[in-house]
A and B are shown apart, each in its own frame.
Chain A
């Protein structure tokens, strides 16, 4: 083990609001409700929390969350950058902070009214054309009509299809697996609403080659988790989900959503960097993984994730995703909560919670064996990944 926190820290509590299209309450309220539930789930009191980690893009201030929850003192607070790429990075950060002695119980949250207030899918056309680095960056794409996350990802997908012969149906199989699992998850927005591959194919174009059903939903909701030492987690209400490893990754010539200028654009080097760290650190490999939660804001980028983690060779994910391999009972059940396509889009954080449920044996789509679970964060951005295990 090169990462000292690995195997010595754990997720001890999870909590979420309902997932909806219109929460009817403020994002701060969603954050606090989710955190309240996670603290209770961990068997702690608010006063036991002494650190908070969230996303840079989360609009809820740590101090406001702490105030409403009645957390008196914080000895560590930090934020992780790069939108959905931050998801597993928050756990990584929290584990490092705990292991370093900076704090004992870290509250991690992400909450937004992403559907009813701030829709990401509408794009970035209204941004100011000033000299801020982010606006300069958008300047290379927005004037040409590439304005939305779907469009940024579609550019990778088109090249991936060209190089490896993957088809829209191969992307569709991700969506079908997610929706099948969501159909059996009462918390999922698409509970009892599975789809067929034909329905995927017939759904309208958003950005060709992406159909509507290649794109995750937009959701209102909040998700929180509690990270602590493995020893303290053993005193909690649930069996600990051990942080076997966690890593962040940013690759060469990394750009936000548009790393189009690398020698090739069909792999995800930053995810490959996370994979390398997880496997090197844990001594495990793809064959050891029982289930996975892959970040699925858009289906096409699930395929190269399978390749980066070594579940199949480069360009062969289109074959791996066939024959129900990704569904319950298959070689690698993925996104057993329904993923962001089926359950909710909470920037990957609901996927980490599902990873914890799989370790606890509490998923509504519980595989026969789920001792080791892989969770990934946002693709096409600097990202992160997480390996969870049962407490041996």
Chain B
């Protein structure tokens, strides 16, 4: 062991002083969080609905646990010489040695109870481990594992979090050396469609984020692909209707060979039956091919397959994704859940707005989550999603499936490929266990969120579901 590592590990087992949250648990922060995460569970924001629930009143989303004690925009000064505090001890030494960048990799939440407005919690940080120096894709660094225990103002333990961060030296990652050699070569282009005066309305619509279906202005009949004369009524007066963009998969294939530049193989091509009744051929994106099923609800995503460059406008195509599953308004019963059951895939488009809104809603002011220029300066291609958002979106996915009163006991996640703007993360889940524990129905779910770079998040959770005739959650 190097002397430096030994000096870091001196702090292992040390515990800092309880750090009180700046504010009590409060409705405005909860509402901001729910807006940013698009979490519609009424038990977080609707006092009337919440009063009739197992909680008896409004509760905070459980994954907000560590958001309450985040430092905020103006960080607390480190306390020199406080060797009991891992924050000012080991982490400060890592900073001093040049390991100034930080990225979170694991978050394991335990929830003793859901927090309510008015709770005022404090977190106590303990250093569990500092790894040997590792070369990672991001850079050379040390993984630092901490445990934070949360108590309310009455001293009741309300939850705990085991957290792993990578402290690394900026500019030492595998992608760093080439980052200075200019942008990557432009992606090969897909074939462009032939367009005639009869079909131009469709492609113009796509560029304006509209899915247009040709419609006879005389008899109203829809036609796709377009005709030049309505075969039903004989009219040459043809306009269009703007489609809702929703439909179902009528048939689909998985193209493996031959591989043509411009596409990522296997390519899933779907024949989509639109709500309006006509069909459209399209690519089904952001979905595991094996999860595509005939009849699956899908919705359009206007994807810029040729970015605007050098004054040329970009080029969009109407691609389709799985439709976001409807949020369950009734909570699943313990008896209704079967081990091995698959949760419907849920795509979550990753935008700059979502990353920034969720970072701020979780009180995470790390520049890499909101400042593109600084993120690039630190060797990242763009800003990226913070780990609290990954937790928050994971819990949203689980409770949107299980229902508003499904109560999380814990949520463990591990992060992989970053979520950058312009990507889409699709959540998948499967019921892995089901057990009655002292009359309480506990269901285990394994889940993951996959983007175009790989698995962004993999995790597990245990949730309590009501048992028929029992005390429920």
A132 in contact with B194 (CB, 8 Å): yes
Q: How far is the CA of A303 from the CA of B190 in the complex (A)?
A: 34
A254 in the interface (beta carbon within 8 A): no
Q: How far is the CA of A255 from the CA of B224 in the complex (A)?
A: 12
One digit per residue, 1 when the CB lies within 8 angstroms of any chain A CB and 0 when it does not, for chain B 280-297 equals 011100000100001000
One digit per residue, 1 when the CB lies within 8 angstroms of any chain B CB and 0 when it does not, for chain A 148-160 equals 1001001111110
Q: Among A121, A125, A162, A204, which residue has its beta carbon within 8 angstroms of that of B251?
A: A162
B191 in contact with A207 (CB, 8 Å): no
**Looking across the interface, which residue of chain A has its beta carbon closest to that of B294?**
A162
Q: How far is the CA of A157 from the CA of B252 in the complex (A)?
A: 9
B281 in contact with A125 (CB, 8 Å): no
Q: How far is the CA of A376 from the CA of B195 in the complex (A)?
A: 34
Q: How far is the CA of A135 from the CA of B191 in the complex (A)?
A: 11
Q: Among B198, B257, B271, B281, which residue has its beta carbon within 8 angstroms of that of A136?
A: B198
Supplied contacts A136-B196, A159-B271, A208-B289, 19 more A-B pairs, CB within 8 Å: A127-B194, A129-B192, A129-B193, A135-B194, A136-B193, A136-B199, A139-B194, A139-B199, A142-B190, A143-B305, A145-B260, A146-B281, A147-B255, A155-B252, A155-B253, A204-B257, A205-B254, A261-B224, A261-B225
A311 in the interface (beta carbon within 8 A): no
Please name all residues of chain A whose beta carbon is closer than 8 Å to the beta carbon of B283 when the two chains form the complex.
Answer: 144-145
B240: min CB distance to chain A, Å: 15
Task: Say which one of B67-75, B86-94, B261-269, B386-394 lies at the interface with A.
Answer: B261-269
Q: How far is the CA of A300 from the CA of B291 in the complex (A)?
A: 23
A196 in the interface (beta carbon within 8 A): no
Q: How far is the CA of A145 from the CA of B255 in the complex (A)?
A: 8
B250 in contact with A143 (CB, 8 Å): no
From DSSP, what is the main secondary structure of chain B's interface residues?
loop
Q: How far is the CA of A138 from the CA of B282 in the complex (A)?
A: 13
B225 in contact with A207 (CB, 8 Å): no
Q: How far is the CA of A142 from the CA of B260 in the complex (A)?
A: 11
A2 in the interface (beta carbon within 8 A): no
Please name all residues of chain A whose beta carbon is closer than 8 Å to the beta carbon of B198 when the two chains form the complex.
Answer: 136
B193 in contact with A260 (CB, 8 Å): no
Q: How far is the CA of A126 from the CA of B261 in the complex (A)?
A: 11
B317 in the interface (beta carbon within 8 A): yes
**Looking across the interface, which residue of chain B has its beta carbon closest to that of A258?**
B281
A260 in contact with B281 (CB, 8 Å): yes
Please name all residues of chain B whose beta carbon is closer than 8 Å to the beta carbon of A206 when the two chains form the complex.
Answer: 256-257
Please name all residues of chain A whose beta carbon is closer than 8 Å to the beta carbon of B252 when the two chains form the complex.
Answer: 155, 158
B253 in contact with A133 (CB, 8 Å): no
B472: min CB distance to chain A, Å: 40
Given A127-B191, A129-B195, A261-B224: A207 and B271 interface contact (C-beta under 8 Å): no
A231 in the interface (beta carbon within 8 A): no
Please name all residues of chain A whose beta carbon is closer than 8 Å to the beta carbon of B251 when the two chains form the complex.
Answer: 155-156, 158-159, 162, 260, 265
